[in-house]
Homo-oligomer: A and B are copies of this chain.
Amino acid sequence: MSEPRTPGLRAQSVYRALRRAIIEQALKPGMKLPEDSIGEQLGVSRTLVREAFNRLSVEGLVELKPNKGASVAYPTLEEARDVFEVRRGLERLVAENLAGRLTPAQAAELEEHVRQEEKAHGQDGPESIRLSGEFHIKLAEMTGNALLLRYVQESSSRCSLILAIYGRPHSSECAVSEHRQLIDALRAGDAAKAAQLMDHHLQSVVTRALLSPRTEPDLRDALSRYALSEGLTPP
């Protein structure tokens, strides 16, 4: 029952744990992240926690303010639009890259994935959200372009954060039918159509989920963002 003795792996574990916790909203946007307590919770020293914070900060999932420590990122609406714009561009690239190059095995894998999405569509637990995100990651993986994959993953994570803040309660899932259409275009080798479908698909996710910021139920929540960004400290 010993801890992972493999060196460098514990650091990675901390990073992964925090990353998942943020994306799944166990750690909510804006939440303070004290090094000590998190290290204690995870059974590591502050050193490794700081290391994870640094990586997460590069990826835009945590904010790091000098002498004030880390907190889960709380993107502004403007940052949100930036992220979506970049993601659209990246995924358009994915679509173009993949059009006509999809092996039968890959196409089958994607269709199986969509089938799972359909099944999970009824009970919209976290499962449905996770699956629709993974569809896009799978596509990026299939390009074989490691950098493209990393960027898609990163912007995808940030989209999760953004939807957690500004999205309507259950709107973050992609339309399954749009995924199907995309696969068809990819298999047909129609790069332009695939790119356009992807573009439209992501655009519609934004308009469905983001364009109408939900009315903040809690004044405190509504204001804390602005307070924090000004260096104030609401109770």
Q: Which residues of A contact B (CB under 8 A)?
A: 6-9, 47, 50-51, 54-55, 58-60, 64, 66-67, 79, 82-83, 85-86, 89-90, 92-93, 97, 145-148, 151, 155, 158
A-side interface mostly: helix
Set of chain B residues within 8 Å of A67, measured between Cβ atoms: 7-8
Set of chain B residues within 8 Å of A85, measured between Cβ atoms: 93, 97, 145, 148
Set of chain B residues within 8 Å of A92, measured between Cβ atoms: 89
Query: Nearest chain-B residue to A152 (Cβ)?
Result: B86
Set of chain B residues within 8 Å of A97, measured between Cβ atoms: 85
Tell me the complex Cα distance, A64–B55, Å: 13
Tell me the complex Cα distance, A233–B8, Å: 21
Set of chain B residues within 8 Å of A147, measured between Cβ atoms: 60, 79, 82-83, 86, 155, 158
Tell me the complex Cα distance, A46–B221, Å: 40
Tell me the complex Cα distance, A8–B67, Å: 8
Set of chain B residues within 8 Å of A90, measured between Cβ atoms: 86, 89-90
Tell me the complex Cα distance, A146–B54, Å: 18
Which of B8, B66, B151 contacts A66, CB < 8 Å? B8
Tell me the complex Cα distance, A146–B148, Å: 18
Known: A66-B7, A89-B89, A90-B89. A79 touches B146 (CB 8 A): yes
Set of chain B residues within 8 Å of A58, measured between Cβ atoms: 55, 58-59
Set of chain B residues within 8 Å of A93, measured between Cβ atoms: 85-86, 89
Tell me the complex Cα distance, A97–B84, Å: 13
- In contact, B86 and A145 (Cβ under 8 angstroms): yes
Query: Nearest chain-B residue to A67 (Cβ)?
Result: B7
